[in-house]
Amino acid sequence: MRLVQFASITKKMALAAVGLFLLLFLPVHLGINLCILREDQGEWYRIASHFMGTNYIVKVFEVVLMATILLHIVIALLLTLENLRARPVRYKVVTKSKTHFMSKYMIWTGGIIAVFLVIHFINFYFVKLDIVEGKYSAKLEQIDQHFQEKAKKMQTGELKEDEQTKLVAQYQALSNISPDKVDAKGKNLINLSKEEVVQYCGEDFKHVEPDFYVMSKDFFKNKYYSLLYLLSFIVLGLHLMHAINSLAQTFGLVHTKYNNAIEIFAIVYSIIIPLGFAIIPIAIMFFGY
């Protein structure tokens, strides 16, 4: 219990530090997501997704990010519960204060964002962990190399009869593959189901990656998912507007010289970032990107 019974100011400092980390992450995530709208059939986005999924530094960063989000939620809940315990009965007379109007609703906007993040992780991150089935891609060069290795084993009699049958079926499937399963440059198989991964790549092929480009476009073509996405980022904008001002106050950056600059930055950031994310489903739904 002592771990959660530290001073309120310490909780606020921790919440602000974690919030700052998330504020720095959002533009990076936005930059990658905007690659979806490039007219290159997902080449840039797949390259970025491959880097994010295979680079060991990024993998460590992912764990830190997940831990940061959870820590942000836990500390916010602790502070809210602490405030409720400190004032169990609401004041009968509502007094005017200089507190930002969104401060009263931070736990609610945060809750909506948390619900969206759970859905988002299930649809994307859980696919990466192979907990949820999605769509997949694989490099044709690696598939061919894997196939050739097995073909050599077949020639030397190292493959069992059932394995030889599967290899022949794989060759026939690859020879008659649909053009929509190959990317524009003919380097990757894309938009594969798990059954198609086995069909084209073989059961023991280990170099399959989630095809987040196809998955993202499919989700954004769904009007209900897109509306939820847009609503979540409107709420995020409101959440960020107060969060940035609160962060500045917690770190002691409140001063008449730059209060206005902080307020302007908070407004600009809380509009530009959510708007950038919102452009993606709008472009896909209404403009056919």
pLDDT of the residue at 259 = 87
pLDDT tens for each residue of 134-191: 999 999 999 999 999 999 999 999 999 999 999 999 999 999 999 999 998 999 999 9
pLDDT of the residue at 131 = 94
Work out the pLDDT band at 197, boundaries 50, 70, 90. Answer: very high
pLDDT of the residue at 87 = 62
* Cβ within 8 Å of residue 172, ≥6 positions away: none
pLDDT of the residue at 71 = 87
Domain map (residue ranges) of the chain: 2-87+100-134+214-287, 136-210
pLDDT of the residue at 3 = 45
Measured CA to CA in angstroms, residue 182 lies from 33, 177, 197, 200, 202 at distances of: 22, 8, 13, 12, 17
* 166, 203 contact by CB (below 8 A): yes
pLDDT tens for each residue of 41-90: 999 999 999 999 899 998 898 888 888 888 888 888 888 888 777 765 55
